[in-house]
A and B are shown apart, each in its own frame.
Chain A
Amino acid sequence: MTTTSTAAPRTGTSAAPRREKETGGALNVFSHAFLVLWVILAAGPLIWVALTAFRPSAEILSDPMGWPSSFHWENFSNAWNKANIGQYTLNSLIILAGSLTGTMLLGSMAAYVIARFTFPGNRVIFMLFAGGMMFPVILALVPLFAVMENFGLLDTRPGLMIAYIAYSLPFTTFFLTSFFRTLPTGVQEAAMVDGASHTRTFFQIMLPMAKPGLVSIGIFNFLGQWNQYLLPLLLNNEDEKSYVLPQGLASLAVSQGYRGDWGALFAGLTIAMVPVLVVYAVFQRQVQAGLTAGAIK
């Protein structure tokens, strides 16, 4: 048993006032029950979907609460092939490969310059990026559509990637600017003295030093872009074959609702949810830090 280093007397162990235990008992049980109940509520619908994905559609419709009698994998192959979930996943991966790389590269470049160099307009540019975080995407909906159309980028992969990058830049730049400011300046100066160019200093010295910050914001952007729904709905709605995963599932939900093939839909949802939840479980510390940093500015 260790004591805290405060000057207060130890109120910990056996000397604790008994009074409190008696009054707190019922409340305690209730509160703990509530904590456990919310675990069931938070994970319940997701687990139900994953379990139901293994049952034939007819069974789901007659008894939605049942357990899988035996594991039917055909829902998954149906979802992957017939319902195009495989295609949608591939689309999402292609878009992410471009947009995430672009976001990280452009965001860190802009943040580095804003954080480490003094030049006229520095504050203004920083404010521009920071202000963009407060901005509701729905307002830009119509003009963005027109701008993309004018550039010939509507319903193209590069167009969607650029849109993802542009709307991820404000928070990425804001976050990385404050991160670059915390790094020591000595290393940068030493590199300059040794004859490294600005560009080289950035890529070989500063980026490796900023790795923890880059990982946090990288995961944040991965989740944000992987889950995007509004931008693809607006800019990528022409051809069903080009849908990204959330978009594909939303349209699948509508069409399967008519046909009653729930099994494939549940399997598709499971395919979409499980990888993201696994990534989150592995990196949960960074994800939580990154996501909540956005709210407390």
Chain B
Amino acid sequence: MPPRFTPERVRYDRRYRTLDKYRFIVGFLAVPLAFYALFVISPFLQAIYYSFTDWSGGPVANFVGFDNYQKMWNDDRFWDSLRVSTLLLVIAPVLTLVLGMFFAYMITSGGRHRRGRAIAGVAGSSLYKVVYFFPQVLSVAIIAVVWGRVFNTNSGLINGGLDKIGVDGPAWLGGDETLGLISLLIVISWSFVGFYVVLFSAAMGSVPQDIYEAALLDGAGRARTFFSVTLPLIWDAVRTGWIYMGIQALDTFAICLVMVPPHVLKVTPVFLYERFRDGQYGYATSIGVVLLVLSMVFSLIVMRVGNRDRIEY
């Protein structure tokens, strides 16, 4: 009850105060928790259960043990999609992080001897950061449509440009799986590089200046400074970014669905979505579970491989 209406008898009573506090807590948490439990947690738990059933949208779902997983094991289309997704998972993070790190290093430490500091950014670094980040604020669906036009065989930006210099461009999304995969990798990396530039710039910005000054006095060049000073000091951010990018690559869905014609290649989430469209609900959820397990395994591997002693500074 609001203080104005609190009866005088209990106003200063500790028990009443406690009761009032709990009333408030429950009142504030009820709706957010209900939404969250009903639409996020419960579907997640149901998904794990349904992956062991033959549910197809009707009222009945029979428990069938590992049948769905067995089916997946023998399903060539699943393995095809998993090959594409795994390649994305392995290549996309390396490509994106290397580019992001290079640009971030140039932006934060590429310039030398400006403003009397041992190390400083190149001119125009804030503009670079803003423009590189553009793709991050657009919808993946829009990115997919834009790049679908860019890659278009006859009237796309790339082949149109190649025509100008007399080169006949290939059919990027016309059926060749390798070209399709390259196109996917280009788009995924393109859309995430800006994110990593900002992330790594922030990490590099927190490295104390005097370490750089010491390196400079010892005669370290720019590359040497990067590998011996910067990289070890921002390693935590690199590892986090690596895991995050891997999961993003594994979850690639909209870009593939909208941009790549279905006969060229499919990633596993698109294969899952098609099974859902066909009404194979149980099978679709089991593919989702496999994806979840894969992303967990990947995170653990990166944690292991990338485990170094923390450097305090």
Interface residues of A (CB under 8 A from B): 1-4, 6-13, 16, 20, 23-24, 27, 31-32, 34-35, 38-39, 41-46, 48-49, 60-65, 106-107, 109-110, 112-113, 117, 119, 125, 128-129, 132, 135-136, 138-148, 162-163, 165-167, 169-170, 173, 195-200, 202, 223, 226-230, 245-247, 249-250, 252-253, 262, 265-266, 269, 272-273, 276-277, 279-281, 284, 287-288, 291-292, 295-297
Would you give 21 A-B contacts (Cβ < 8 Å), ordered by A?
A: A6-B213, A7-B210, A8-B217, A11-B216, A13-B113, A39-B127, A64-B156, A106-B32, A110-B32, A132-B36, A136-B292, A138-B272, A141-B288, A170-B40, A247-B141, A249-B142, A252-B145, A262-B149, A276-B138, A277-B137, A292-B202
Residues 109 to 132 of chain B near chain A (Cβ within 8 Å): 110, 112-113, 115-118, 122, 127-132
Partner of B20, one of A4, A23, A31, A198: A198
Partner of A129, one of B36, B106, B127, B281: B36
| Bound complex: CA A168 to CA B241 (Å) | 21
Within 8 Å CB of A230, what residues of B?
Answer: 253-254
Is B97 at the interface (CB under 8 A from chain A)? no
Determine if A169 and B36 form an interchain contact, defined as CB atoms under 8 angstroms apart. yes
Partner of A253, one of B116, B132, B258: B258
Within 8 Å CB of B22, what residues of A?
Answer: 119
Closest chain A residue, CB of each to CB of B107 = A35
Is B66 at the interface (CB under 8 A from chain A)? no
Within 8 Å CB of B210, what residues of A?
Answer: 6-8
Within 8 Å CB of A43, what residues of B?
Answer: 131, 134
Determine if A45 and B118 form an interchain contact, defined as CB atoms under 8 angstroms apart. no
- With A24-B221, A138-B288 as known contacts, state yes or no: A144 contacts B272, CB within 8 Å: no
Residues 249 to 308 of chain B near chain A (Cβ within 8 Å): 251, 253-254, 258, 269, 272-273, 276, 281, 284-285, 288-289, 291-292, 295
| Bound complex: CA A38 to CA B145 (Å) | 21
| Bound complex: CA A236 to CA B18 (Å) | 45
B127 CB to nearest chain A CB (Å) = 8
| Bound complex: CA A245 to CA B139 (Å) | 10
Within 8 Å CB of A266, what residues of B?
Answer: 149
Majority DSSP secondary structure for residues of A touching B: helix
Partner of B258, one of A7, A195, A250, A291: A250
| Bound complex: CA A107 to CA B32 (Å) | 7
| B214-236 vs A, Cβ < 8 Å mask (1 yes, 0 no) | 10110001100000000000000
Q: A8-B214, A249-B145 are in contact. List 16 more A-B contacts (CB 8 A).
A: A12-B118, A24-B112, A31-B110, A38-B99, A39-B128, A46-B138, A113-B29, A144-B39, A166-B39, A166-B40, A195-B3, A202-B28, A227-B142, A245-B139, A250-B144, A277-B134
Determine if A143 and B41 form an interchain contact, defined as CB atoms under 8 angstroms apart. no
Determine if B284 and A135 form an interchain contact, defined as CB atoms under 8 angstroms apart. no
Determine if A143 and B132 form an interchain contact, defined as CB atoms under 8 angstroms apart. no
Within 8 Å CB of A272, what residues of B?
Answer: 139, 142
Interface residues of B (CB under 8 A from A): 1-4, 20-22, 24-25, 27-29, 31-33, 35-36, 38-44, 46-47, 50, 57, 99, 102-103, 106-107, 110, 112-113, 115-118, 122, 127-142, 144-150, 152, 154-157, 159-161, 163-164, 190, 193-195, 198-199, 202, 209-210, 213-214, 216-217, 221-222, 237, 240-241, 244, 247, 251, 253-254, 258, 269, 272-273, 276, 281, 284-285, 288-289, 291-292, 295
- With A132-B40, A280-B133 as known contacts, state yes or no: A142 contacts B281, CB within 8 Å: yes
- With A8-B213, A42-B194, A281-B130 as known contacts, state yes or no: A135 contacts B44, CB within 8 Å: yes
Determine if B155 and A64 form an interchain contact, defined as CB atoms under 8 angstroms apart. yes
Determine if A64 and B160 form an interchain contact, defined as CB atoms under 8 angstroms apart. yes
Within 8 Å CB of A199, what residues of B?
Answer: 2, 24, 27
Determine if A20 and B221 form an interchain contact, defined as CB atoms under 8 angstroms apart. yes
Majority DSSP secondary structure for residues of B touching A: helix
| Bound complex: CA A226 to CA B202 (Å) | 26
Within 8 Å CB of B39, what residues of A?
Answer: 144, 147-148, 162-163, 166-167
B35 CB to nearest chain A CB (Å) = 5
Which residue of B1, B44, B110, B128 has the most chain A CB atoms within 10 A of its CB atom? B44
Determine if B291 and A138 form an interchain contact, defined as CB atoms under 8 angstroms apart. yes
Determine if A253 and B148 form an interchain contact, defined as CB atoms under 8 angstroms apart. yes
Partner of A246, one of B44, B139, B251: B139
Within 8 Å CB of A265, what residues of B?
Answer: 145, 149
- With A46-B146, A136-B251 as known contacts, state yes or no: A65 contacts B36, CB within 8 Å: no
Closest chain B residue, CB of each to CB of A21 = B112
Determine if B253 and A4 form an interchain contact, defined as CB atoms under 8 angstroms apart. no
| Bound complex: CA A294 to CA B26 (Å) | 28
Within 8 Å CB of B102, what residues of A?
Answer: 34
| Bound complex: CA A128 to CA B289 (Å) | 19
Within 8 Å CB of A8, what residues of B?
Answer: 118, 210, 213-214, 217
Within 8 Å CB of A229, what residues of B?
Answer: 139-141, 254
A101 CB to nearest chain B CB (Å) = 13
